[in-house]
Amino acid sequence: MIVSPSLLSADFGNLQRDIEMLNASEADWFHLDVMDGVFVPNISFGFPVMEAMAKAAKKPLDVHLMIVEPQKFVSQVAALGAKIMNVHYEACVHLHRVVQQIKDAGMMAGVTLNPHTPVCLLEDIIKDLDLVMLMSVNPGFGGQKFIENSLQKTRQLRELIDRKASKALIEVDGGVNRIAGKQLKEAGADALVAGSAIFKSSDPVSEVAALKYL
């Protein structure tokens, strides 16, 4: 299992310390949650903070843009050295074009679905995607409860990817802990994002390992 800890739950007063802790863990990617106060009802951090994160991070960056018009920021995300750029299906009128722009900039193209957005809407773009991220909470805040229907969506997405012979990875984001993680693995997920499960743990490094070897 690929584990992508969300830095949204880190201690921003001790960001360097928390990133170094994750550098020494079995985490695979670093998940960076960008919120603009328009697409979601919260504001997190932007490029100046992500530049500092990128400097300290020794793992690939998995950038999750919860913003309107994410296509405006493709080159800035690429300049961070990000491995994955995740844009929301609901934020992109011309999703096919944005996906090509992300790939042309040398990143993996990820498309994220809100809890209410059905998997079948990806039917005609799944072959172009490197990753699909399913939101298992409504985006905007860490520490929310896992929405159970995400298991069913993960199974549907697995079926779509296999049927279309797409190479897209399945990532799930929101409320993921060991219990949900195990069910998601059985449903066909490849990657898990976890914020509070890792950072609220008394032993975050062991929590990362627990999610990795479910």
- Can you say which residues are annotated as belonging to the binding site for a divalent metal cation? 31, 33, 64, 173
Regarding 64 and contact with ligand DX5 (CB under 6 A), the answer is yes
- Of 18, 173, 190, 207, the residue at the interface with Zn ion (CB under 5 A) is 173
Regarding 4 and contact with ligand DX5 (CB under 6 A), the answer is no
Distance CA 113, CA 64 (A): 11
Check if 33 is active-site: yes
Regarding 173 and contact with ligand DX5 (CB under 6 A), the answer is yes
Regarding 64 and contact with Zn ion (CB under 5 A), the answer is yes
Catalytic hit among 28, 62, 130, 173: 173
Q: Return the closest-CA partner of residue 50 out of 37, 61, 39.
A: 61
- Of 70, 110, 175, 204, the residue at the interface with ligand DX5 (CB under 6 A) is 175
Inter-residue contact 58 to 35 (CB < 8 Å): no
Distance CA 56, CA 184 (A): 30
Shortest separation between residue 167's beta carbon and Zn ion, angstroms: 22
What DSSP character marks residue 68? S
- Of 19, 25, 31, 84, the residue at the interface with ligand DX5 (CB under 6 A) is 31
Amino acid, res. 22? L
- Structure tokens belonging to residue 198: 């890792």
CA dihedral 146, 132, 214, 33 (to 10 degrees): -60
Catalytic hit among 33, 62, 130, 190: 33
Distance CA 84, CA 68 (A): 18
Regarding 10 and contact with ligand DX5 (CB under 6 A), the answer is no
Residues that bind ligand DX5 (CB under 6 A): 6, 8-9, 31, 33, 64, 137, 139-144, 173-176, 193-197
Mind telling me the catalytic residues?
33, 173
